[in-house]
Amino acid sequence: MALVRLADGTLVNEVLVRQGLAWVYEQYCLRADVCPALRQAEAEARTAGRGLWAEHNPMPPWDWRRQNKVEEWYAAPVRVLRTIARKIRVVIR
């Protein structure tokens, strides 16, 4: 899980979840200092019907990926990383 904080200390993850624009991915949300607030923000967004919670039955992104698994979708990032790796030279001194 990546956390994004602004210079003023605002946790972007929490703002997105609170507005119903992101899910809490329970499998990876393990930090005791952040995850309870994210879970609470998601519960509030669900109750208020904000963002994706305005939909009758929103599909979690992990389910969408599982249903739309195609080779190209998974292979493209690997190709990009290999291309970048070939162009980068690491010098260890």
Tally Cβ neighbours within 10 Å of residue 11.
17
Task: Please report whether residue 3 resides in a domain.
Answer: no
Residue whose C-alpha is closest to residue 36's, from 19, 17, 53, 54: 17
pLDDT (0 to 100) of residue 72: 66
Task: Please report whether residue 92 resides in a domain.
Answer: no
Tens-digit pLDDT profile for residues 23-71: 999 989 999 999 999 999 999 999 999 999 999 999 998 888 888 776 6
Task: Please report whether residue 4 resides in a domain.
Answer: no
Q: How many domains would you assign to the chain?
A: 1
Task: Please report whether residue 51 resides in a domain.
Answer: yes
Task: Please report whether residue 57 resides in a domain.
Answer: yes
Alpha-carbon span 36 to 64, nearest angstrom = 25
Tens-digit pLDDT profile for residues 77-92: 777 778 888 777 766 6
Task: Please report whether residue 5 resides in a domain.
Answer: no
Tens-digit pLDDT profile for residues 17-32: 999 999 999 989 999 9
Residue whose C-alpha is closest to residue 17's, from 55, 57, 60, 50: 50
Instruction: Please give the residue range of the domain that contains residue 20.
Output: 12-87
Task: Please report whether residue 93 resides in a domain.
Answer: no
